[in-house]
Structure 1
């Protein structure tokens, strides 16, 4: 905030502005994350630097993200300076649930639908299962003696929620194919050889399928979300995403250790033919809903045909 009266400028602001403009003009970046926004604690500066960035980007869309932990609606809503905010509660809540530490439907619903936390729209939160400040999921699961196929199964459940929740998904490098090294300040190159292992390759293909769905099904672009089935005893939660053009996606999640055979999910949004995305098969939904087999710590993703 130091103002140089002789030069009639804020030198620190000018330096940061020059740096951001350089990256946009020379490297053509289309977004930037501002680290430690809570510690910066200066919305006036943030408004200014975002305005400078978007002015430099000109007609090109430019997305600004605040790493404000814990997240706050004030930094994105109405007069907030940023487009999006890191959704740290999403990370904590989903991690606790795929690890089996707890089951709290209301907290799950809060992070899957950020509007329940007061955020206005789909671009206002950046969701993640982990990032460079945390360990990879395989490390956290391993700390709880959850390994191998059981661990990869639970990571897939988390990925399905990440890719279908309201918000912008973030994937930390290597997480999409099961990077396992603990967090370190030292150099930690991605182990590409992992893709030669069946479990890692399966997770990678699972992510590819969900990313493809996310990119091409515009129901996932909206703020529309309805939790239409909740079963606290069985630890099952189902929700629907849709848009006004007729695209629909339904996600059914099982957070229990039990295989649920012949499980009835009532109140499905539409009757008729749906396609289960992760298993690549069609199912028929009747007036009484759908009957499915769903494994322990598994998600089914149904797409309206």
Structure 2
């Protein structure tokens, strides 16, 4: 029932005016946004429907010229995602990864192997992406219901819902790729998807659980800015236990920064859980709760609450 007008003919050349009208219109429109509104990034919607990588690349190149000397970040929404759209050989810098959204929902619903889902979430190279900048990870966007709305549909509320929201925050902030947050997710916006006006409910920040989620996001963003390990292209799994649904993965940088993330994907509290294969002995700092743990001989024992991630930052000088 919806129509966006006739399809642009990007290959049509007007011999009278010696130009490609559709291409020139798109270039002029994009350049207007960049020069008048100072855009520093562009997201291209429905690239599968555009189905013209050559034209997309041309628009991106023209936009980059208009933005100089400021850098311009471009990303494409193609559902399902295509790794050849981004990176050195692709027309855009990065691609939306909608599978991140669906894989995380599967973990919450208990559908399939949670461990295998986490592996897919944290490592986009399994889908052909080459580097962290090539892919944009997100829990939800304007095209889906908010995470809190999805949890409510599963009859998961209050503390249990916020716990799962924090787990999602850790995964999206520590996975290989560029994290994207839909406005309001960081403090627990809950409204279902609608075409009607749905302004953010700022009064949520008067509620302690929502403020707690907001501060949790702030802490993870600070870690991401401070620690090169989780901005790198390096990710590997060092621990997995299918019986307990626990997985540990490592992010590291060649200059020495290391971050280990241990995730309990089950609804069971695991007291005194033993991790026998930590990648480095010594002191690790749990970032989200602000305490230190000691690893000796690769052995670590710690409590793993249900649906929670421990974010351990290597502290070589402690």
- Superposed pair shares fold, TM > 0.5: yes
Match of 2:48 among 38, 52, 57: 38
Superposed, which structure 2 residues align to 1:56-71 within 5 Å?
56-71=66-81
CA distance in 2 between counterparts of 1:261 and 1:96 reads 25
CA-to-partner distance for each residue in 1:277-302, whole Å, 9 max, x for gaps?
Answer: 01011111111321010100000000
CA distance in 2 between counterparts of 1:78 and 1:192 reads 40
Superposed, which structure 2 residues align to 1:1-305 within 5 Å?
1=10, 2-305=12-315
Query: What secondary structure is seen at the aligned counterpart in 2 of 1:64?
Result: strand
Q: Structure 1 pair 288/221, CA: closer, same or farther in 2 (3 Å)?
A: closer
- Asked if structure 1 preserves the Cα contact closer than 8 Å seen for 2:114 and 2:265, the reply is no
- Asked if structure 1 preserves the Cα contact closer than 8 Å seen for 2:173 and 2:221, the reply is yes
CA-to-partner distance for each residue in 1:241-296, whole Å, 9 max, x for gaps?
Answer: 01111111110000101000111112212111111001011111111321010100
Per-residue deviation, 1:231: 0.6
Per-residue deviation, 1:23: 1.4
CA distance in 1 between counterparts of 2:40 and 2:226 reads 21
TM, length-normalised to structure 1: 0.97
Unmatched segments (≥5 aa) in structure 1: none
CA-to-partner distance for each residue in 1:58-112, whole Å, 9 max, x for gaps?
Answer: 2322111000010011211442111110001111001211343343433321221
CA distance in 2 between counterparts of 1:111 and 1:13 reads 36
Query: What secondary structure is seen at the aligned counterpart in 2 of 1:15?
Result: helix
C-alpha root-mean-square deviation of aligned residues, in Å?
1.1
Unmatched segments (≥5 aa) in structure 2: 1-9
CA distance in 2 between counterparts of 1:215 and 1:284 reads 25
- Asked if structure 2 preserves the Cα contact closer than 8 Å seen for 1:99 and 1:154, the reply is no
Runs of 4+ aligned structure 1 residues displaced above 2 Å come to 98-108
Query: What secondary structure is seen at the aligned counterpart in 1 of 2:133?
Result: coil
CA distance in 2 between counterparts of 1:179 and 1:110 reads 26
Query: What secondary structure is seen at the aligned counterpart in 1 of 2:166?
Result: helix
CA distance in 1 between counterparts of 2:28 and 2:281 reads 56
CA distance in 2 between counterparts of 1:111 and 1:3 reads 44
- Asked if structure 2 preserves the Cα contact closer than 8 Å seen for 1:99 and 1:141, the reply is no
Per-residue deviation, 1:135: 0.6
- Asked if structure 2 preserves the Cα contact closer than 8 Å seen for 1:266 and 1:290, the reply is yes
Per-residue deviation, 1:304: 0.9
Query: What secondary structure is seen at the aligned counterpart in 1 of 2:132?
Result: coil
Q: Structure 1 pair 84/216, CA: closer, same or farther in 2 (3 Å)?
A: same
